[in-house]
Amino acid sequence: MPKSFRSRVEASGLRFIFSLPRFARRLIAGRTIRIDCQELALDAQLLLRLHNLSRVKLSGGEPAAARLRLAASQESAAGKRIEPVSIREVTIADGLPATLYTPGGLPKGSGLLVFFHGGGWVIGTRASHDNTARYLAQRAGVRVLSVEYRLAPENPFPAAAEDAVTAFDYAYAKAQDLGADPDRIAVGGDSAGGNLAAVAAQVTTRRGGPAPAFQLLIYPAVDATQRRRSRELFGKDFFLTDEDMTWFLDHYAQPGVDRADPRLSPLLATDFSGLPPAYISTAGFDPLRDEGEAYAEKLREAGVAVALSRQSDLFHGYVNLIGLGGRFTEALAEAAGALRVGLSPRP
């Protein structure tokens, strides 16, 4: 989708600010932020300063308006479209749209990531995570099937969770048509997308398979029932706020929903045995940090191979900021490396 004149100007302005000498960026960002024995990265603090000055809210008002705000804000930070990556539009069962990303030169029979974008089950699209999907495809050397699952409140819980399972089943059944190896299919996503990936892995495993070979969970939301310490520490002024989280969840899990249902709160499942190996990344300055790390511990206790990586100097949402480089790109590069290893051919 072509960028608007305004978004091009904003992107140029951001690139200029982030290209300034370190001392100038520090002057704009302000004094170093240290909380819970963690220091916020300079570029993360700089972007947070600019975001807070803009007073653009992630949530609030009508969902349609919030979706437009997210799309406008992310155009500036996503960066130049990553190439060479070819795309093909795909329709999953029940008319569910998806985009298949294939890096240039990738042979058939590759690994495949079924990817679910973040956005609190209410906002976000394949387009908002286009460069994220391209980056993962190219850096991990896999195909990526990015899914346009149904959003709340128009389609409340469990619609998105059902779509996640449907998308994996489609990818497995149509692996040959997608150019993928059915035995090397991962599920993954960020935030609410990480929630959907975890749910898909649990549902498919508990029914006896077929199930994913790997999970890529980036700052996942996995417990809708409990407020943890990280939410109290970072629930204000760190991009994703306590107010945002309440707004998102109230739209997705509407009155009458049991929020302890593992399809909404996968951390509360009773059996974690046999789940696919996982890479779980959390952000140090993120309200979701502690529940993501609790999920990693649950997997570890059940004997599931899991790599937990806390990006201690970043905040929620870094996968959409790779156009700014630095720590944002480094963190996503680590995730791509984990995906590459997780979907590598077995001897």
Beta bridge partners of 188: 115, 216
CA distances from 130 to 47, 54, 74, 157, 165 (A): 21, 24, 11, 25, 21
Tokens of 210: 């077929």
**Alpha-carbon span 315 to 35, nearest angstrom:** 12
CB atoms within 10 A of CB 197: 31
Q: Is 135 in contact with 336 (CB distance < 8 Å)?
A: yes
- Catalytic residue (one of 191, 230, 265, 281): 191
Q: Is 174 in contact with 182 (CB distance < 8 Å)?
A: no
- Catalytic residue (one of 130, 286, 290, 313): 286
Of residues 317, 284, 102, the one with CA closest to residue 192: 317
The amino acid present at 229, given as its one-letter code, is: R
Alpha helices in 144-191 (DSSP H): 159-173, 175-178
286 is an active site residue: yes
191 is an active site residue: yes
Q: At what angle do helices 326-342 and 42-54 cross, to 10 degrees?
A: 110
Of residues 215, 237, 222, 226, the one with CA closest to residue 316: 237
CA distances from 182 to 166, 173, 204, 253, 278 (A): 15, 8, 14, 33, 18
Residue 283's Cβ-count burial label (10 Å; 0-12, 13-18, 19+) is: buried
316 is an active site residue: yes
Positions annotated as catalytic residues are: 191, 286, 316
